[in-house]
Chains A and B, each alone.
Chain A
Amino acid sequence: MAGESVKLLGFWCSPYALRVKWALKLKGIEYEYVEEDLVNKSPQLLQYNPAYKKIPVLVHHGKPVVESLVILEYIDDTWKQNPILPEDPYERAVARFWAKFADDKCVPAMMGAFTKQGEEKEKAVKEAQENLKILESGLGEKSFFGGDKIGFVDIAVGWIGVWVRLTEEVAEVNLVDAKTMPLLNAWFERFPELPTIKECIPPWDKLLEHNRNFHKRLTAGST
């Protein structure tokens, strides 16, 4: 792996950058990390991602790959050790389905629970709970979405386990607990405790402070 030029442009508390960090770590890929200032985006970032101007960007041999799920697939296509996606096409389709479901249905509702207020907030909380319950059905009785080992869905969706707790704390809502979603709740506790996973997650206090400040700015001046 020496001489492989791999660079990751990210932001310290971006869950999308976290996904990529997890994948790189699991594959044992060495890389240079570049922290981007999202208020003052670097010319490099704008050049690498002109369409969205966002992180994460994976740069491999000078060529950029953007959009975190596209990056995960690229990593799996390029480095064959410790496969992230299963071999079987049907299992791959199931994995892609759940990753997409979480991004399309769970995340916006969870963001809504964080950013909205009053009736809209209540609606978002309910929607988040419903969709997280559906996500739980994709996990079932397995230890991880990938089975006995973590896989594509765990890496794509695992950040939600941390961010759900942040949202619950900061926005003072209840999204997932052992009573309503015992299986998902257990996975929310199990996944971030894995050493390779835990190492990449920013410290809880820092995340909490950052999100509290963000929440304050969003809700400032509202009744």
Chain B
Amino acid sequence: MAEGNKVTLHGAWPSPYYHRVKMALKVKGIAYEYVEEDLMNKSPTLLKHNPVHKKIPVLVHNGKPICESLVILEYIDETWKDGPKLLPQDPYKRAQIRFWVNFLHEQVFEALYSIIKTDGETQEKALQGLHEKLQVLEEGLKKFFPDCSKPVVSENVGMLEIVVTSILGNYKAQQDVLGLKVIDSEKTPLVFSWVAALVDLPAVKETLPPYEQYVPFLNFMRQTFLKPPTA
């Protein structure tokens, strides 16, 4: 598999979708060339590889592009069979992981994004919504993944851990910028302790943007969303 195995990843440093793929490649020990895309001025290569969405991340393996972060993660797991697995072998466990990954991707991410984009009462409601979703996740973890309350180790970083940290891994920066608790350790103690332990793992720490870089970015993003429309 090593000969003629060219892997390129098109990404953008703040994107949580890009972080997922970066983490997966790291966990699997896959060497690749990274291309930072300017999302205001997308490269012709990116547009050629992802004509449908024109978005990052795009993984290009031996000239063939794979798009959509969750599709890429499954592709990585199915192609590089040596080393750590991103998904377990057992079909039922795989189904559980895929369910919670989708829940995080569709429900939790959207709720978190709403909080970043809003303020006042709208934001309060959005925060409540996020906490409710995290409570559903809490129950799910207790029922289906009792192991996540055990010590978190690098060997166990799979698709679920990758996706949850891509969304909630920057919770400290998010809390400091927003001035509110993204993950409430009293309402969702298991989610909180799990994420807090995961962000200390090298694969996660070395992937997510540093606090000092992420805070100004988040501030900028928030200000852009909250700016009143010009007349």
In the complex, which residues of chain B have a beta carbon less than 8 angstroms from the beta carbon of A60? 92
Q: Determine the distance from Cα of A137 to Cα of B70 in the docked complex, in whole angstroms.
A: 22
Name the one of A73, A93, A97, A101 contacting B95, with C-beta atoms under 8 angstroms: A73
Q: Does B179 contact A (CB under 8 A)?
A: no
Q: Does B2 contact A (CB under 8 A)?
A: no
In the complex, which residues of chain B have a beta carbon less than 8 angstroms from the beta carbon of A74? 91-92, 94-95
In the complex, which residues of chain A have a beta carbon less than 8 angstroms from the beta carbon of B35? none
Q: Determine the distance from Cα of A92 to Cα of B74 in the docked complex, in whole angstroms.
A: 9
Interface residues of chain A: helix, strand, loop or mixed (majority): helix
Interface centre among A60, A67, A74, A89 (most CB of B within 10 A): A89
Residue of B with least CB distance to A73: B98
Interface-side segment among B11-19, B61-69, B170-178, B221-229: B61-69
**Given A51-B140, A93-B72, A93-B75 in contact, is the A101-B52 Cβ separation under 8 Å?**
yes
Q: Determine the distance from Cα of A89 to Cα of B86 in the docked complex, in whole angstroms.
A: 15
Question: A96 near B71 (CB under 8 angstroms)?
Answer: yes
Count residues of chain A with CB under 8 A from any CB of chain B: 23
Q: Does B78 contact A (CB under 8 A)?
A: yes
Q: Determine the distance from Cα of A51 to Cα of B94 in the docked complex, in whole angstroms.
A: 17
Question: A93 near B139 (CB under 8 angstroms)?
Answer: no
In the complex, which residues of chain B have a beta carbon less than 8 angstroms from the beta carbon of A66? 99
Question: A50 near B136 (CB under 8 angstroms)?
Answer: yes
Interface centre among A73, A74, A77, A93 (most CB of B within 10 A): A93
For A54-72 the 0/1 string (1 means CB < 8 A from B) is: 0000001001011100110
The 5 closest A-B pairs by CB, nearest first: A77-B91, A89-B78, A74-B95, A93-B75, A78-B91
- Can you list 6 A-B contacts (CB < 8 A)? A51-B103, A67-B102, A73-B95, A93-B71, A93-B75, A96-B70
